[in-house]
Amino acid sequence: MIAREWKCRVPEPHSKGFTAYLYETGIKDSSETPGFLGAQIFHRTVAGKVELTLITYWDKMESIKAFAGNDISRARLYPEDAVYELEPDLSVQHYEVIEHQFSPAQRR
């Protein structure tokens, strides 16, 4: 399993709107791509901005290419991102997942 990590920052007033937009764009497009296994979004406040970390999970690198294009290290951005004053990381990180265990009570 491969984890794909992308981060961005938005002003606090845009946090909820951008998170909803992220579901409509990145999460929707990822989940419709063969080989997509799941996603998590992390949220924290840093210096008056909200930092979001999106981690998507994939079966193999070829599936990520189908979603992101040949240069999988580049972030996939969307036209309306500027509406939210998005400060995106322009690159993403990929990790081989060697452990992914959750207790049964914490699964959602």
Which is it for strands 93-96 and 2-11: parallel, antiparallel or unpaired? antiparallel
Do 26 and 95 touch, CB atoms closer than 8 A? no
Tell me the backbone φ, ψ of residue 90, rounded to 5 degrees.
-90, -10
Q: Provide the whole-model pTM.
A: 0.89
Q: What is the largest CA-CA distance in the chain?
A: 39
3-state secondary structure of 55: strand
Query: How far is Cα 72 from Cα 53, in angstroms, rounded to an integer?
Result: 17
Residues in the chain: 108
11-64 confidence digits (pLDDT tens): 999 999 999 999 999 999 999 999 999 999 999 999 889 999 999 999 999 999
61-91 confidence digits (pLDDT tens): 999 999 999 999 999 999 999 999 999 999 9
User: Is CATH 1.10.1040.10 correct for 2-99?
Assistant: no
The C-alpha angle 56, 100, 69, rounded to 5 degrees, equals 25
**What pLDDT does 102 receive?**
73
13, 26, 43, 82: CA torsion to nearest 10: -30
Across 84-101, average pLDDT: 93
Domain ranges of the chain: 2-99
